[in-house]
Amino acid sequence: MDIVVKNLGLTDYEKTWMEMKNFISSNPENDEIWVTEHLPIFTSGLNKKDSIIPKTDIPHLFVDRGGKITYHGPGQLIIYLLINLLKNNLSIRQLVNIIEKSIIELLSMYSIKNSYSKKNAPGVYVSDKKIASIGLRVKNHYTYHGLSLNIDMDLSPFTLIAPCGFHGLEMTQVSALNKDYNNDIASTLVKLLQLNIK
């Protein structure tokens, strides 16, 4: 079956998180991909060790995805993957590899050629900076949460944290590397994900 794609627009993180959990609890017939951006928020995943919560007016939320602390805000593309691993004959590691591969393919299409993934630090990097993060959770063979790709956002909140637990890690974004990108970037990445998952 095709993966159903839903474009949610700008959303509240906690509300969307609850909707994801409700969706996978319903044992849905179809896989879905949700495309969104979030209002400004810091979130910390299940690996809370050494996480320092910034003192700021930006809200913070502990959530049930993998990984450590990160930031979400307008101008960052969020894609949530609500995928039945069993039906798709995938392991969680294979899905992470697919996500990383899809983002690297996307960036190459936008003339950002030197992106890569790291074996022990999920996500996608350009030079020594991080451009995309991945955090997933599996329940009853379904994944939820997903990826964030920095497109054209205020990166300064990242300087208040150790992004994904890495002190001194700098973040970058598509607009800093290719000013000629266009609004098709979200739909193009969704298509790559659909193709690579199936």
On the question of pLDDT at 119 being above 90, the answer is no
Backbone angles phi, psi at 85, to 5 degrees: -65, -40
Tens digit of each residue's pLDDT (9 = 90 or more) over 17-75: 999 999 999 999 899 999 999 999 999 988 766 677 889 999 999 999 988 899 999 99
Contact 13/133 with Cβ under 8 angstroms? no
Q: What is the CATH number of the domain that holds 16?
A: 3.30.930.10
Nearest Cα residue to 142 out of 45, 29, 35, 36: 29
**Mean pLDDT of the chain, nearest integer:** 93
Residues 6+ apart with CB under 8 A from 48: 62, 68
**How many distinct structural domains can be found in the chain?**
1
Which has more pLDDT, 45 or 83? 83
E strand or H helix at 191, and its extent? helix 185-197
Lowest mean pLDDT among 81-95, 156-170, 175-189: 156-170
Query: Annotated active-site positions, please?
Result: 164
178 bridge partner residues: none
Provide the residue range defining the domain that includes 44. 4-197
Per residue in 132-142, pLDDT (tens digit) is: 999 999 998 99
Instruction: With H, G, I as helix, E, B as strand and everything else as coil, classify residue 152.
Output: coil
Residues 184, 142, 80: CA angle, nearest 5 degrees:
25
How confident is the model over 146-159, as a mean pLDDT? Answer: 96
